Amino acid sequence: MNNVDIRDKLKAFLWDKGYSQKRVAEMANLSDSKLSSILLKRRKLDANELFDICNAIEITPSELREYKREDKAS
């Protein structure tokens, strides 16, 4: 069972893929401060926001849930 918070997966994905938080917030129609609060776990991520963010970064919620960090050693 995977108990990793989806917000941790989202943060890792954005970092690994080089996404700007500001740009993702714009594409997902969220304020930068709202996305920041989500990523810092200061607020919950609701389902609609998750879908909007996933659409913006072209990944499904299921793919995000299964996301594993890339091996940077290679």
- Residue 3, class by beta-carbon neighbours within 10 Å (0-12 exposed, 13-18 middle, 19+ buried)? exposed
Query: What is the distance in angstroms between the CA of the first residue and the CA of the last residue of the chain?
Result: 28
Reading the chain (74 residues) residue by residue, the pLDDT tens digits are 557 899 999 999 999 999 999 999 999 999 999 999 999 999 999 999 999 999 999 999 999 999 998 765 54
Predicted local confidence at residue 4, as pLDDT: 84
Per-residue pLDDT of 11-21, as tens digits, reads 999 999 999 99
Q: Which domains does the chain have, with CATH numbers?
A: 6-62 (1.10.260.40)
Query: SS3 letters for 8-39?
Result: HHHHHHHHHHCCCHHHHHHHCCCCHHHHHHHH
pLDDT at 69: 83
pTM passes above 0.85: yes
